[in-house]
Structure 1
Amino acid sequence: MTGWNADSIPDQHGRIAVVTGANSGLGLVTAAELARHGAHVVLAVRNTAAGAEAARRIGGDVEVRELDLARLDSVHAFATGLVSDHPVVDLLVNNAGVVLLGPRRTSADGFELQFATNMLGHFALTGLLLGALAAAPEARVVSLSSITHKSAHLDFDDLMSERGYRAPSAYGRSKLATTVFGVELDRRLRAARSPVISVLAHPGLTRTNLTPRAWEHRGRLGRVVARLGLLATQPVEQGTLPQLRAATAPGVRGGQFFGPAGLFETRGRVTEARLSREAADPAVGERLWAAAEELTGVSYL
């Protein structure tokens, strides 16, 4: 599958797909390609006006639903409404994420905002939708990792980054936690003999509206860094391919991890990527799972 691209996506008619953060960037392209191939796509977005504009651009069989992953009450409300209308869900793409620079910020539930949005919200959402996913014959959960997970470390005595906070490091920890979650979910689904599979992907260095916009707020130097960074990135359509392959390609196995093949996994064609040692450690997975259940109040498997 060396030349795998968006045209390789098989027919998606009859499938219900949920994509978080679907109003821009990777999420928008993912939702658009799924809809183009026939899926009914739920755009799970914090800003429903932006979601409505995305739906207009995408066309096809799409709907917009409000979801703020940084609020557990919003996650519960979204899951309840979705399952009421769609008791069978074929695909959940945990795509949404935030990248912050500057002082530490917290979610409505008191968690560090990047960790809350990127990992804990998706952990709760997946657990609340697992029954609907298990009702589908070949459901998948796709968790969006990042190459930053490879240099990150989880401090279980300070998961909320209250000591010596640095936003880039906190982002890396949130993406490591997301990766550990996807791997541990695969272990637990297999142990439970669930029909659902958990797959992971990362986009390498991809041109989205997150990082450059954040850097540009840091003055002239920030604008220079943002422009230089854009030269090293690949287009969002290319960066979305790993998660589209994870979501749709025939023969994908639980626990597989897809990313770009070129230049230290930063760009290029889709291939299988490598997990960091910490991300693959079952002891880390078990410990993070217990912490996430306690923090979110959502238990499953």
Structure 2
Amino acid sequence: MSSAPDAEKPSAASWVADHVSSQVGRTFVVTGANSGLGLETVRTLGGLGADVIMTTRDQDKGQQAMDALLAELPDAKIELRSLDLADLDSVREFATTVGALDVLINNAGVMMPPHGRTRQGYELQLGVNHLGHFALTGLLLERIANSEDGRVVTVTSGLHKRGRIHFDDLHGEQDYGRTKYYAQSKLANVVFAIELNRRLRTNNIPVRSVLAHPGYSATNLQSSGPTGVGKLLMKAGNRLFAQDAEMGALPQLYAATGTDVEGGQFYGPDGRGESKGFPTLVEPLDDARDRELGKRLWDISEELTGVRIPLDP
């Protein structure tokens, strides 16, 4: 994957959510949508006439979020559905409820919790951030492929550049570290999205696989996972240095709706260190493009989830 020339980049200095064109007649699924980036994404899409399925693990929090959105946007077509990405049975059940679909935004995530496991026994961050979304993408891909402009937007983090896939200790049984395994899960997002794009092109499937990251954005993610001193530091950092969730959501909104977006591209903030700013094309870790790494992660993800995505490498 290579960046487009500067002249082809989005106008980062002026592009904001208000510039998204009408999305009437298009259907989006946004995971992890009861707060933060997901909520801002649903708000924007709902305000532009899209049919939006917002998913949440906690139905009470999700209902409160949707009620607030509908009070603000009474004509919005927003539905709330239950989805627990830490449970592959929940992923399969949710997928059966989705009909025609244009765009899947894999936004949900957990960040730096104590060592935990999904219902199927996988390390929690890898399980939620990557494996749950891998399975969901596979289960919905045929429906997305029937769209005139089908897209899968995978939300990652700049911390993916500090990650590697620990195939010898994938679930942190020997040497778990919160940041280490968060970075692994975010690198897995990037490797998967690039490999998905590669296979979509190889198999002539007209779906765009696109990446986005929010930079340093103030959301509940930083406070819901970390504990102790780490949680206090995250809260202080949010207050002092982070941009708000509305700005943080712009890269994934651009990836999901921009008319010039191409499969395999990666959008993030244009500011120093990609921490803040308006959406522009950015580059992933070089190793994330490695074909052997992509195939190995794909194969083990199919094995662990039991979801086979029928795309030849």
Q: Could you state the TM-score of these two structures normalised by the residue count of structure 2?
A: 0.91
Residue 210 (structure 1) shift: 1.8
Residue 286 of structure 1 corresponds to which residue in structure 2?
Answer: 295
Residue 95 of structure 1 is matched in structure 2 by: 107
Cα distance between partner residues in 2 of 1:127 and 1:41: 20
* Deviation for aligned residue 1:213: 4.8
Matches of 2:175 and 2:150 in 1, distance apart?
40
Distance 1:138 1:213, change over 3 A: closer
- Residue aligning to 1:236: 245
CA distance in structure 2 between the aligned counterparts of 1:228 and 1:256, rounded to whole angstroms: 29
Q: Kindly state the Cα deviation for residue 249 of structure 1 after the two structures are TM-superposed.
A: 0.7
Unaligned runs of 5+ in 2: 1-10, 71-75
Q: Which of 74, 99, 109 does residue 90 from structure 2 map onto?
A: 74
Distance 1:123 1:206 in 2: 24
- Give yes or no for the alignment of 1:252 onto 2:261: yes
Report the Cα offset of residue 282 of structure 1.
1.5
2:67 aligned with 1:56: yes
> What is the percent sequence identity of the aligned residues?
46
Distance across 1 between alignment mates of 2:84 and 2:121: 14
In structure 1, the partner of 2:140 is: 129
Q: How many residues align?
A: 294
- Where do residues 262-273 of structure 1 align in structure 2 (5 Å cutoff)? 262-273=271-282
* Structure 1 residues without counterparts, runs of 5 or longer: none
Alpha-carbon distance between aligned partners in 2 of 1:148 and 1:224, rounded to the nearest angstrom: 17
- Describe the SS at the equivalent of 1:157: helix
Are 1:218 and 2:240 an aligned pair?
no
Output one character per residue of 1:259-294: Cα deviation in whole Å (capped at 9) or x when no partner.
011111111121111100121212111110001000
- Shift of residue 57 of structure 1? 1.7
Q: Does the alignment pair 1:183 with 2:218?
A: no
- Separation (CA, whole Å) in 1 of partners of 2:108 and 2:233: 27
Structure 2 CA distance for aligned equivalents of residues 168 and 225 of structure 1 = 13
Q: What SS class does the counterpart of residue 195 from structure 2 fall into?
A: helix
Which AA in structure 1 matches 2:281? E
CA root-mean-square deviation: 1.3
Counterpart residue type for residue 304 of structure 2: L
Deviation at 1:196, TM superposition (A): 1.0
Shift of 1:224: 5.0
Identify the match of residue 274 of structure 1 among 251, 269, 283: 283
Contact 2:222 2:231 in 1 (8 A): no
Amino acid aligned to 2:154: S
Secondary structure of the residue aligned to 1:274 is: coil
TM-score scaled by structure 1?
Answer: 0.94
**Distance across 1 between alignment mates of 2:50 and 2:290:** 35
d(CA) in 2 for partners of 1:251, 1:284: 28
SS of 1:81's equivalent? coil
For 1:33, what is the secondary structure of its paired residue? helix
Moved more, 276-285 or 22-31: 276-285
**In the TM superposition, what is the alpha-carbon distance from 1:232 to its structure 2 partner?**
1.5
Q: Is the 8 A contact 1:17 1:41 kept in 2?
A: yes
**Correspondent of 1:144 among 155, 160, 169:** 155
Deviation of 1:230 (Å) = 2.9
SS of the counterpart of 1:267? coil
**Amino acid across the alignment from 2:158:** I
The answer to whether the 8 A contact 2:82-2:94 is kept is: yes
Amino acid at match of 1:267: K
Asked if the contact 1:204/1:265 (under 8 Å) is kept, the reply is: yes
Per-residue CA deviations over 1:41-97 (Å, capped at 9, x if unaligned) read 001111122111121122210001110001010000000122xxx2x2001000000
Cα displacement (A) at 1:214: 4.4
In the alignment, the residues of structure 2 paired with residue 185 and residue 94 of structure 1 have an alpha-carbon distance, to the nearest angstrom, of: 13
The worse-fitting range, judged by mean Cα deviation, of 52-61 and 147-156 is 52-61
Q: Is the 8 A contact 1:212 1:229 kept in 2?
A: no
The 3 A distance-change label for structure 1 pair 33 and 76 is same
Find the residue that maps to 1:108 and give its secondary structure: coil
Q: CA deviation at 1:129?
A: 0.3
